[in-house]
């Protein structure tokens, strides 16, 4: 992957998936603006298992898409 992408492009490439984004650039409200996708999967545990691969780098974990109806969302 090794490519910085805007969050809009990331969302269109990986709909309804969990993402591990390295070197994430954030806006004033701490939303990811752009970054490098290190891992993506519909399964959250797959993405969390890749955390060790980004030692020493800043990162964000995001879910792109509408949460399924059986999820509870805490803001």
Residue 60 domain flag? yes
Query: For residue 70, is it within any domain?
Result: no
Q: Is residue 42 part of a domain?
A: yes
Is residue 71 situated within a structural domain? no
Name the 3-class secondary structure at 18: strand
Straight-line distance from the first to the last Cα atom of the chain, in angstroms, rounded to the nearest whole number: 30
pTM over 0.75: yes
Query: Does any domain span residue 28?
Result: yes
Distance CA(13)–CA(29), nearest Å, equals: 23
In whole angstroms, give the CA distance from residue 28 to residue 24: 13
| Best CA proximity match to 17, nearest among 50, 39, 49 | 39
In a domain, 72, yes or no: no
Along the chain (75 residues), what's the average pLDDT of each consecutive run of 10 residues? 88 96 93 95 95 89 86 73
């Amino acid at each position: 992957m090794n490519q910085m992408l805007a969050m809009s492009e990331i969302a269109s490439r990986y709909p309804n998936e969990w993402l591990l984004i390295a070197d994430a650039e954030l806006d004033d409200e701490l939303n990811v603006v752009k970054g490098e996708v290190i891992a993506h999967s519909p399964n959250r545990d797959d993405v969390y298992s890749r955390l060790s691969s980004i030692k020493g780098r800043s990162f964000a974990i995001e879910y792109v898409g509408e949460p399924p109806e059986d999820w509870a969302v805490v803001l």
